[in-house]
Amino acid sequence: MAFLDELAAGLGPAVRTDRPELDRVRTDRSGWTTDERPLAVVHARDVADVQAVLRLATEHRVPVVPRGAGTGLAGGAVATEGSVVLDVSGMDRVLEIDAGNETAVVEPGVVTDALAAALEPHGLWWPPDPASRAISTVGGNIATNAGGLLCAKYGVTRESVLGLRVVLADGTLLRLGRGTVKGVTGYDLAALLIGSEGTLGVVVEATLKLRRGSSDPVVTIGATFPDVRAAAAAAAAITASGLRCAALELMDAATCAALDALVAAGEGPAGDVPSLSGRGAFLLVQTDGGAAPREADAALDLIRAAGGEGAVAADPATAAALVALRRAAHPAFAKLGDVLIEDVCVPRTALPAMFDAVDDIARRHGLPIPTIAHAGDGNLHPNIVIPPSVPHAPGEIPEVVWAAGEELFRAAIALGGTLTGEHGVGVLKRRWIAEELGEDVMALSRRVKAAFDPLGILNPGKVW
Ligand SMILES: Cc1cc2nc3c(=O)[nH]c(=O)nc-3n(C[C@H](O)[C@H](O)[C@H](O)COP(=O)(O)OP(=O)(O)OC[C@H]3O[C@@H](n4cnc5c(N)ncnc54)[C@H](O)[C@@H]3O)c2cc1C
């Protein structure tokens, strides 16, 4: 029997081959759409569906592209030619919350914010908090090792996952890692799967390490600076002083202007948000825990020493408005035009130098690149805006944008940094990965990939 017939016979209505559905999975949130076309999309309902798809795909040598919510920014979940896209977003149950052990067991399609809502009544929370948390899935967070505002203090996704159940390319179901907080039996294959972008296995269940909610105070500071270099120097000084801020978010002048325009258009966040008109940079600082007020005072001293003006938010509503302003950056950029959201990471002391590099690259290429940074961990998101003067088809990223991107990546690597801090390599950064890793690491990584997926059917054309 032909592959599609067998798939339909085995999985029935979970299999979709209609044009709108096939088109939906030809893109993600990167702004790029592939020319390639999948054969089918399968909406897996349970682990058995995932295994059935992979067994059949192995038998017929058909590529399989795992997909969560499709909010990725690197093309990792985008269909490849003749593939089956395995959409696990419907496997979205929270299976267990164990308050005593501070763990939860979840299916991969649980939306990150929905997990937070389920944990809240138990006084528990899961630290990974990508800016996309309202729309991304926990499985996607795991597959990309997602970060977010809080990860400088609370770690990236890998630090908050204890165990996984994973289906390999041949349909084998494995349990990797464990449910205990400690454990060193064998290689840490769960850690290897985290951040593997769907190239080694499909995550069908995860045991998550939680934190207990705290009634300790959170202190929020909003600070402005004459220029981004001063703000970057303040952020680097805060980190170098040993303060571990829960959030340390930096926005440059172009981002301040975009946010100001959003607010002026009446589309900004609710609440009493400060005007960022004419500001050279904005820094959002949050300290938490018992020492929060003292740490906030120390951070304010460093902000002032670097030439900034800052104040502690007077009440929770003002603090919430400051955080909402930061979270409104992406909608603000979207109003400027089509945007390629980039994602490099440098040692934290190199933040001022990386901002200089962004400025120089933006000027030389004549492209606006408003930049925000998770300054607490050196992760910058330069947002390359495609101006109306650069014609491009919908879903196309023009070469002039890649030329600027390439310089950004090389600048980050030259500063001791990396191509991608949290969004992943996917399709879009494949051409630069060897520049960072070198041929020996590339060769070893390909052997690891072959050990998991000898036929190379799992998310081919991604990462490697
Ligand atoms: C506005 C906006 C803000 C964002 N902010 C952040 C941020 O702050 N931090 C951050 O890290 N990211 C951010 N992202 C990127 C994106 O949301 C994250 O990468 C997220 O983790 C992807 O989750 P998803 O469910 O959408 O995965 P998808 O986009 O569907 O997939 C992403 C990758 O994971 C693989 N995958 C998905 N599910 C599975 C699974 N169950 N098993 C195996 N592989 C799987 C896919 O094959 C693909 O390679 C942002 C995106 C947007 C649009």
| SS3 sequence of the chain | CCHHHHHHHHHHHHEECCHHHHHHCCECCCCCECCCCCCEEEECCCHHHHHHHHHHHHHHCCCEEEECCCCCCCCCCCCCCCCEEEECCCCCCEEEEECCCCEEEECCCCEHHHHHHHHHHHCEECCCCCCCCCCCEHHHHHHHCCCCCCHHHHCCHHHHEEEEEEECCCCCEEEEECCCCCCCCCCCHHHHHCCCCCCCCEEEEEEEECEECCCCCEEEEEEEECCHHHHHHHHHHHHHCCCCCCEEEEEEHHHHHHHHHHHHCCCCCCCCCCCCCCCCEEEEEEEECCCHHHHHHHHHHHHHHCCCEEEECCCHHHHHHHHHHHHCHHHHHHCCCEEEECCEECCHHHHHHHHHHHHHHHHHHCCCCCEEEEHHHCEEEEEEEECCCCCCCCCCCCHHHHHHHHHHHHHHHHCCCECCCCCCCCCCCHHHHHHHHCHHHHHHHHHHHHHHCCCCCECCCCCC
Out of 3.40.1410.10, 3.40.50.10800, 3.30.70.2740, 3.40.50.300, the CATH code matching 336-370+378-453 is 3.30.70.2740
Among 252, 228, 230, 145, residue whose Cα is nearest residue 194: 145
User: Do the Cβ atoms of 380 and 344 come closer than 8 Å?
Assistant: yes
Enumerate residues 6+ apart whose C-beta is below 8 A from 394.
33
- pLDDT given at position 152: 86
- pLDDT given at position 391: 87
State the distance from the centre of ligand 1 to the C-alpha of 107, rounded, in angstroms: 15
- 30/339 Cα distance (integer angstroms): 8
State the distance from the centre of ligand 1 to the C-alpha of 431, rounded, in angstroms: 20
φ, ψ for residue 232 (rounded to 5)?
Answer: -65, -40
Which residue lies with its CA nearest to atom 28 of ligand 1? 70
Which residue lies with its CA nearest to atom 50 of ligand 1? 132
Which residue lies with its CA nearest to atom 15 of ligand 1? 72
- pLDDT given at position 449: 98
Structure token pair of residue 81: 């030619």
Which residue lies with its CA nearest to atom 8 of ligand 1? 130
Q: Which atom belonging to ligand 1 lies closest to the Cα atom of 147?
A: 11
Which residue lies with its CA nearest to atom 14 of ligand 1? 132
Which residue lies with its CA nearest to atom 23 of ligand 1? 140
- Ligand 1 cavity residues, CB under 6 Å: 28-29, 65-73, 76-77, 88, 108, 130-132, 136-137, 139-141, 143-144, 146-148, 197-198, 202-203, 330, 422-423, 426, 459, 462
State the distance from the centre of ligand 1 to the C-alpha of 422, rounded, in angstroms: 9
User: Cα-Cα-Cα-Cα dihedral of 333, 334, 340, 341, to 10°?
Assistant: 60
State the distance from the centre of ligand 1 to the C-alpha of 180, rounded, in angstroms: 26
Please state the domain extents for the chain.
3-87, 94-212, 215-334, 336-370+378-453
The CA–CA distances, whole Å, from 194 to 23, 60, 136, 270, 382 equal 28, 27, 16, 36, 25
Structure token pair of residue 119: 């944990």
- pLDDT given at position 213: 83
β-strands 40-43, 84-87 pairing: parallel
Best of 144, 174, 196, 379 for a ligand 1 pocket test (most atoms within 8 Å of beta carbon): 144
State the distance from the centre of ligand 1 to the C-alpha of 391, rounded, in angstroms: 28
CATH assignment, 215-334: 3.30.70.2190
Q: Which residues pair with 373 in a beta bridge?
A: 250, 380
User: Do the Cβ atoms of 425 and 463 come closer than 8 Å?
Assistant: yes
The fold for domain 94-212 equals: 3.30.465
- pLDDT given at position 60: 98
User: Do the Cβ atoms of 269 and 239 come closer than 8 Å?
Assistant: no
Among 181, 177, 172, 213, residue whose Cα is nearest residue 194: 177
State the distance from the centre of ligand 1 to the C-alpha of 225, rounded, in angstroms: 33
- pLDDT given at position 215: 56
- pLDDT given at position 214: 67
Enumerate residues 6+ apart whose C-beta is below 8 A from 345.
377, 378, 379, 380, 412, 417, 418, 420, 421, 422
Tens of each residue's pLDDT in the chain, 464 residues:
699 999 999 999 999 999 999 999 999 999 999 999 999 999 999 999 999 999 999 999 999 999 999 999 999 999 999 999 999 999 999 999 999 999 999 999 999 999 999 999 999 999 999 989 999 999 999 999 999 888 889 999 999 999 999 999 999 999 999 999 999 999 999 999 999 999 999 999 999 999 998 656 799 999 999 999 999 999 999 999 999 999 999 999 999 999 999 999 999 888 778 889 899 999 999 999 889 999 999 999 999 999 999 999 999 999 999 999 998 999 999 999 999 999 999 999 999 999 999 999 999 999 999 999 999 999 999 999 998 888 899 899 999 999 999 999 999 999 999 999 999 999 999 999 999 999 999 999 999 999 999 999 999 999 99
CATH assignment, 3-87: 3.30.43.10
Among 122, 120, 117, residue whose Cα is nearest residue 133: 117
**CATH topology agreement for domains 94-212 and 336-370+378-453:** no
State the distance from the centre of ligand 1 to the C-alpha of 37, rounded, in angstroms: 21
Structure token pair of residue 57: 């795909």
Q: Which atom belonging to ligand 1 lies closest to the Cα atom of 137?
A: 25
Cβ neighbours of 140 (radius 10 Å): 33
- 378/421 Cα distance (integer angstroms): 9
State the distance from the centre of ligand 1 to the C-alpha of 145, rounded, in angstroms: 9
